[in-house]
Amino acid sequence: MSISKGRESCPDWDIEAIHLMISRLKKRIQAARGEIAPDLVLKGGRVINLFSCEILETDVAIYDGVIVGLGHYDGPQVIDVRGRYVCPGFIDGHVHIESSMLSPQELSKAMLPMGTTTIVADPHEIANVMGEKGIRYILDSSEGLPVDIYVMLPSCVPATDLETSGAKLSSEDLVDFKDEPRVLGLAEMMNYPGVVSGVGPVLEKIAAFSDSIIDGHAPLLSGKDLNAYMTTGICSDHECSLFEEAKEKLRLGMHIMIREGTQAKNLRTLLPVVSASTVRQCMLVTDDLHPHDLLQRGHLNHLLDMAIEQGLDPISAILMVTRNTAQYFGLKDLGAIAPGYRADILILSSLRPVKVEMVFKRGKKVVEQGQFNYKSPHVNSPDNLSSMHIKPYGPDAFVIPQHGNRVRVIGLICGQILTKSTTAAALVKDGVVVSDLEQDIIKIAVVERHRATGNIGLGFVQGFGLKQGALATSMAHDSHNIVCVGCIDHDIHVAVKAVETMRGGLAAVRDGKVLAQLPLPIGGLLSDRPLHEVARGWEEMRRVARDLGCKLDEPFMALSFLALPVIPELRVTDRGLVDVKRFQHVPLFIS
């Protein structure tokens, strides 16, 4: 079919763009054949071939940002990489940018020297706060960055009807973003009870994206319910925490995203499911990674080190952060060193451990020896991205009058975002229930911050080790109301007030005095400062928490998940305690 004939049948055909593409393709062909010089030759490196799963010593020729050939090439710009490994850029297939507390621009600067050239983000958190405006902020502020940021549209805003969020997104709202160039599909379908039960609005979203990728979120789902969940076209899961759980999902055809983040650490448990026959269905992802971990340990390079240390061969490990992820998301020109692939390339000086020496983005060297030398586009600071609308309250808002002798208690599980539902005798003083420090049981409060409803959910949690003071944050998955734990009501009140005054952030309080705070002015979730500043502030918050007796390595990360009513077993939202297995509110007191 001629171009002119095609244009007649396709009125939207851009004839000029087609001619330009033909011209570029001809030049790539000429460069591949050696008829014209490539822009760049990486000479004599040890190319990690992810098709044959072998390492080959050869040149890599790059033209117009694309790999055009492997073999012997020369050109005006040659970089000798002999003795070093040539590897595709790393791709993280499931990231919540908001957990880094960094703007997309600052996150890009942080990740690139670690070898990450692409991420797939779920802006679920900022969408729960700001709705469509939050999604638009992520798309606009990530345009033209040296790390490609693709987006999966948040499927659960709000995550459930058991909490108060800042927005509601219908299937129609999400479809408005569907044709955006960097939107890939529908993000993790957390409302798995709604899917299995066939709830109409949930199925509407799935139906609207039936021609796209749909990510899953189904912790501990098994048997016929898992079958039902998967019949809808959901084809991945990053919530596996048990070997047998991951094995069952693999056997049913799910792609398993093995997660190792700041709070949820599943890599060591799940890595044994990876074998020669299953590796193509597996990915390594971070999900939620806080700034100090990013600064101190790294990103996917750290996960690769862990996997290789556990005995996985390096090529299989690299597959799980490159080609596997690109294929799953339909990014057909990413994830390999081969002709026609985008020249997002790493030069590694070592595989044990993974050491990134150089990073090339679309054929341009953007990092060398850890130094970022890419001029990012200027991004204006966002306006009106704060959400802090709270009905006035005082210290008495956190008082729990006695209505029984036993209370439900959220039990923390070390290294997991899962919790236990336990009970304990209520410690009563002057007719009200208070924290029982001897049993490591302290009060938890969730204060609604979006609609000034006056909702304050109260409960008790065991496992923080806090001996005095209070800790509060506006990062509280998924609706991101203000969540606070504390030993006495006055300190809880002061900590919540500190977060409100900052218009979002973290606060630590003792004896009515704010000891440390970290502002997060973008939606109460993100800072506009660089990684090292945010990481330093995060470390200070952790240090003060330890001084208050907290025994958790990541107290604020643990705190942020206690209001998440889609992870078993017991949670608390602004509307009260939630039994996640029953997916309903339950009373604090047990009759």
What is the pLDDT confidence band of residue 10, given thresholds at 50, 70 and 90? Answer: very low
* Residue corresponding to tokens 């969020």: 165
Burial class of residue 564, CB neighbours in 10 A (0-12, 13-18, 19+): buried
Task: Please say if the pLDDT value at position 586 is more than 80.
Answer: yes
Pairing of strands 441-447, 456-462: antiparallel
pLDDT for residue 6: 38
Tens digit of pLDDT for each residue in 168-223? Answer: 999 999 999 999 999 999 999 988 989 999 999 999 999 999 999 999 999 999 99
> For 80-89, 245-254, 278-287, 373-382, which range has the lowest pLDDT when averaged over its residues?
373-382
> For 60-69, 197-206, 258-267, which range has the lowest pLDDT when averaged over its residues?
258-267
Q: CA distances (Å), 150 to each of 120, 135, 175, 179, in order?
A: 5, 12, 16, 13
pLDDT for residue 22: 93
Q: What are 577's strand-pairing partners?
A: 572
**How confident is the prediction for the chain on average, in pLDDT?**
94
What is the pLDDT confidence band of residue 12, given thresholds at 50, 70 and 90? Answer: low
Burial class of residue 465, CB neighbours in 10 A (0-12, 13-18, 19+): middle
- Phi, then psi, of 110 in degrees rounded to 5: -75, -40
Tens digit of pLDDT for each residue in 340-359? Answer: 999 999 999 999 999 999 99
Say if residues 290 and 101 touch (Cβ distance below 8 Å). Answer: yes
- Phi, then psi, of 215 in degrees rounded to 5: -85, 150
Q: Determine the average pLDDT of the residues in 431-454.
A: 97
The contacts of residue 473 (CB under 8 Å, 6+ apart) are 482, 483, 484, 499, 505, 506, 507, 556, 559, 560
What is the pLDDT confidence band of residue 4, given thresholds at 50, 70 and 90? Answer: very low
- Encode burial over 382-413: b for 16+ CB neighbours within 10 A, e otherwise: beebbbbebeeeebebbebebeeeebbbbbbe
DSSP 445-496: EEE--SS----EEEEEEES----SSEEEES--TTTT-EEEEESSHHHHHHHH
Q: Cα(239)–Cα(258) distance, rounded to whole angstroms? A: 8
The two three-digit tokens of residue 351, written as one number: 């595989």
Say if residues 366 and 135 touch (Cβ distance below 8 Å). Answer: no
Q: How many CB atoms lie within 10 A of CB 179?
A: 7
pLDDT for residue 357: 97
Dmax over CA atoms of the chain, in Å, equals 89
Share of the chain above pLDDT 70, in %: 96
Positive or negative, the Cα torsion across 247, 248, 254, 256?
negative
| pTM across the whole model | 0.89
Positive or negative, the Cα torsion across 483, 487, 492, 495?
negative
Task: Please say if the pLDDT value at position 3 is more than 80.
Answer: no
Q: What's 147's DSSP letter?
A: S
What is the pLDDT confidence band of residue 591, given thresholds at 50, 70 and 90? Answer: confident
For 503, half-sphere exposure in the C-beta direction (CA atoms, 13 angstrom radius) is 9
Q: Determine the length of the chain.
A: 591
Radius of gyration of the CA atoms of the chain, in A = 25
Task: Please say if the pLDDT value at position 533 is more than 80.
Answer: yes
The two three-digit tokens of residue 69, written as one number: 């050939």
Q: Cα(118)–Cα(284) distance, rounded to whole angstroms? A: 13
Q: Cα(188)–Cα(185) distance, rounded to whole angstroms? A: 10
